[in-house]
A and B are shown apart, each in its own frame.
Chain A
Amino acid sequence: MIKKKKWLSICLVICLIGGIGGAAWYRQKKIEERRMSLVYIPKVEDSTNDFWKALILGTKMAAKEYNADIEIKAPTEENDIERQNELLKEAISEEPDAILFSPSSFTESNDLLKEAKEKGIRISFIDSYTGEKVQDLTVATDNLEAGEKLGKFAATLLGPDDQIAIVAHVKGVSTAVEREEGFRKGLGDLAKNIVEVVYCDSQYEKSRKLTQELMEKYPNLKMVAGMNEYSSVGAARAVKAAGAKDRIQVVGVDSSQEAVQLMENGVFKGLVVQKAFKMGYIGVKETILMLRGKSYEKDINSGCELVTPDNMYDSEIEKLLFPFNTLKLS
């Protein structure tokens, strides 16, 4: 009788341990298999802007690979802070697991982001960040490094007294501030030759006009440096239109079909290209790792590369400039 009881209790204990183990395993599996919902709000979605196109493609491909749904809510114009905040508000009301955000403003979205945080929505910053540390993780190009690369390359093109003008995108935005700072650092002593910094508000046309004005104002201008896609391409257009591509060197940040064409044409002497696809992909990947409770990195530099007419047809640079879109195939 006592023996039987002993057997019974051993069986019971085994069953109990098995049950608990199974339940824990099942729970963990559930968390790992659950489809995560994400919203990504870029600064802009624009068919002419390859940077944002590649970045959004990266987020979509990573979402597909890591079992998540991603919704892209994008303003049609960069620097439209009001629209971006509306989209952010809309995203918060949908209560996704996480919002990936590329803030156009350093200050204006903070209240909304805090609200999202209070609702338990995780925040990941991609490309840019804001003044408040509300984010759970950040994936961005090290813009100081990007600016410095461009500056160092620009320095090789210039004589000691050549005048330089900078066309930046938006005053006060983190990317603009850091790239300019890096650019000056890269130029070294030549930084003293910077005659003016203008802001184009991320518009091709405004950039073109500002550059035209700069060329008139400084007849001996030797270099125009754009700080993003809009400012670089706008500046290049102006230089090309003036037929001054041999006299004025144009360097810039980010690439597009037009920028590549302008480089082939000999207007652009150098472009620092951010790894946009990688940025978007890693942003989503790390966010999902965070949501699933695995180890993730909080601050990631996605890197950048200098493209010149000499290396633009290299396989490695082609891989960077032109996304291989496998999403379209399947």
Chain B
Amino acid sequence: MKNKNLSARFIGRFSSIQSVIFATVAVLVLSAVVIVTGVSMRFTNTSIFENSSQYTQTIIQQMNQNIDSYIDYMENIAYLISSNEDVQDYLFSDEVDNEGRYRILKQFETILDSRSDIRNVGIISKSGRMLINNGSKSVNHDLDLNTQEWYTQALNSPEGPTLTSSHVQHIISGERPWVITLSRGIRDRSGSGEKEGVFFIDLNYSAISGLCDQSTVGTKGYAFILDAKGNIVYHPQQQQLYNELQTENISLIMDTDDDTVLTGTGNNGKLYPISRSDKTGWTVVDCTNVRELLSKSRQAQSIYVLTAVVLVIVALLFSRFMARSITLPIQKLRDSMKKVQEGDFSVSDVVVDSRNEIGSLTKSFDVMTHRIQELMEQNVHEQEQKRKSELKALQSQINPHFLYNTLDSIIWMAEGKKNEEVVLMTASLARLLRQSISNEDEVVPIANEVEYARGYLTIQKMRYKDKLEFQIDVDPSILHIPLIKLVLQPIIENAIYHGLKYKESKGLLIIKGFPKDGNAVLQVIDDGVGMDEETLAHIYDRHKVNYHSNGVGVYNVQKRLKLYYGEDYGITYESVVGKGTTATITIPGRQEGQK
């Protein structure tokens, strides 16, 4: 129950079909794009990372081979010199052969000249005979050679050359360079056959650093070499490491058996492809920033993301467009229905181009509203016709009783030989009849109505002789104002039959007309018996029609005035019992179609 409420509320948030369609399409497209992008990014990342680490592994193995062949080359030199007859002679014979010495120095010179990566080359015998470089450098005689590893190892190791790690070469005084020394024991072949001398060759770092620099990946990558004990043979930041200003993950590399070590996580990680050499015992390591390795991947990823964003934007725009194109006709239809509901048929023509279900729905709606509109217009027309004919019928009639009574009065006057009065009465009746019959118009100037009232009053005065007196006082400025027909006479008739008729003494009836606040006001004032409040309250009621009048009662007059002029206009009554009644008719002073 609660769930249903919740889901209803959730769906309720999307109050329009448009937003439902939009939201659905948007969510679907978004999730599809996100999933596809995520999967492909992950895949690209992994495959690029694997490719790169394989690539660095290949590079480091290549570098290791290069270093091996470099050392190989140096070993060949060492072998050549160690087995040289001149060297044997110079180191171990009792007498020094100067020519042989010269030839050795010449050979050393050639080696040093041809290779800039060789710092020193020399031979030393246990007895202290030595030849170094071209023989001109001063040898450090204070140095005890037995403290030097390269010397002792060459003498003590069984066969072949030995290689040191990085160390300082002290043998030449005044120069104490960092070098890597390759040394080889020389056997005294003519004498003991034991190792009695040492050949050594000092390598500076120009060749090795060149090899290492070639093998770096990226701008922040570097390569370095460790010896079998984990001491640094070469590192681009050797001096900083020696002074504890930098650190390197040496123990990590020495402890692992893997080809590749990864430290750190994500983009901050470092990749160490490792290659170990059996020949030198050295470990060659490349250090690469994962960030740089993955720069290609990041490029690809940013393209994915960009594409995804563009796709999402396009999809959102498209879904919005689609939702609109579906729901716009529905919205139009809804708006138009609302107007029709309020009774406004002017907007019922909804134009819908689409030929789908909504299109046909709209067409049906259009046809329907047109039909309703026609029917309503027809109805209104018929009602109008009916009302007009009724009104006409009412207006054209003169109460037959009034006519009979008047004719009776004329007869009595004629019998009494009252010629003048007969003439006046007959003339008045004739005018009354002419006016009521001849005029086809619904509306006449006030002047006409006043004249009609005067004729009627003249006849009534003659009939009631001493009982009735009347005065007409209408401002000429309002005489031209149009008034619907048969307004004044019924009111006067009412005043006579209900007010003055029951008065003992002579009654006075005053008709006043004047402009007031832009309106025209006509008043019928009598000093008859008046009305109590209850009678006054029911004066507009429909049943107040008696046979004396021509059927046009106060109710009828009031209704017609209100219909014609609006709710602000009409008749008002004031009455005091025993004093008289005043009926006031108010109509607008300016009317349409008035000249």
Contacts and interface: CB of A to CB of B under 8 A. Distances in A.
A260 B168 CA distance: 12
B238 A260 contact: no
Interface stretch (B172-180, B186-194, B537-545): B172-180
Nearest to A280: B243
B243 A264 contact: no
B168 A318 contact: yes
Contacts of A257: 173-176
B559 interface: no
Given A261-B140, A264-B143, A322-B168, A281 B240 contact: yes
A315 interface: yes
Contact of A313 (B140, B148, B231, B236): B148
A93 interface: no
Contacts of B239: 57, 61, 277, 323-326
Contacts of B206: 329
Nearest to B148: A313
Contact of A277 (B166, B174, B177, B243): B243
Nearest to A277: B243
Contacts of B174: 257, 261
A319 interface: yes
Contacts of B148: 313
A264 B140 contact: yes
A219 B173 CA distance: 32
Contacts of B143: 264
Majority-rule SS of B interface residues: loop
A296 B176 CA distance: 35
A315 B243 contact: no
Contacts of A261: 140, 142, 173-174
Interface string A278-290: 1001100100000
A319 B243 contact: yes
B209 interface: yes
Interface residues of B, number: 28
A278 B142 contact: no
B108 interface: no
B242 A319 contact: yes
Contacts, number: 66
A324 B140 contact: no
Interface residues of A, number: 29
B238 A313 contact: no
Nearest to A266: B142
Contact of A315 (B142, B167, B209, B244): B167
B205 interface: yes
Contact of B243 (A260, A266, A275, A313): A275
Which one of B147, B173, B245 has the highest number of Cβ atoms from chain A below 10 Å of its Cβ?
A: B245
Given A61-B239, A329-B209, A282 B245 contact: yes
B391 to A, nearest CB: 52
A278 B245 CA distance: 7
Given A264-B140, A264-B142, A264-B143, A61 B240 contact: yes
Given A261-B142, A264-B143, A329-B209, A322 B238 contact: no
B243 A265 contact: no
Nearest to A257: B174
A65 B209 CA distance: 18
Interface string B180-212: 000000000000000000000000011001000
A265 B173 CA distance: 11
A265 B168 CA distance: 17
B243 A318 contact: no
A140 to B, nearest CB: 16
Interface in B383-426: none
Contacts of A282: 245
Contacts of A313: 147-148, 170
Contacts of A325: 239
B243 A281 contact: yes
B176 A322 contact: yes
Nearest to B143: A264
B231 A315 contact: yes
Closest 5 pairs between A and B when the two form their complex, measured CB to CB = A264-B142, A319-B242, A324-B239, A318-B168, A278-B243
Given A281-B245, A326-B209, A326-B237, 17 more contacts: A61-B239, A260-B176, A261-B140, A261-B174, A264-B170, A266-B142, A277-B239, A278-B244, A285-B245, A313-B147, A313-B170, A321-B168, A322-B178, A324-B178, A325-B239, A326-B239, A329-B209
13 contacts: A257-B175, A265-B142, A277-B243, A281-B240, A281-B243, A319-B242, A319-B243, A322-B176, A324-B178, A326-B205, A326-B238, A329-B205, A329-B209
Interface of B: 140, 142-143, 147-148, 166-168, 170, 173-178, 205-206, 209, 231, 236-240, 242-245
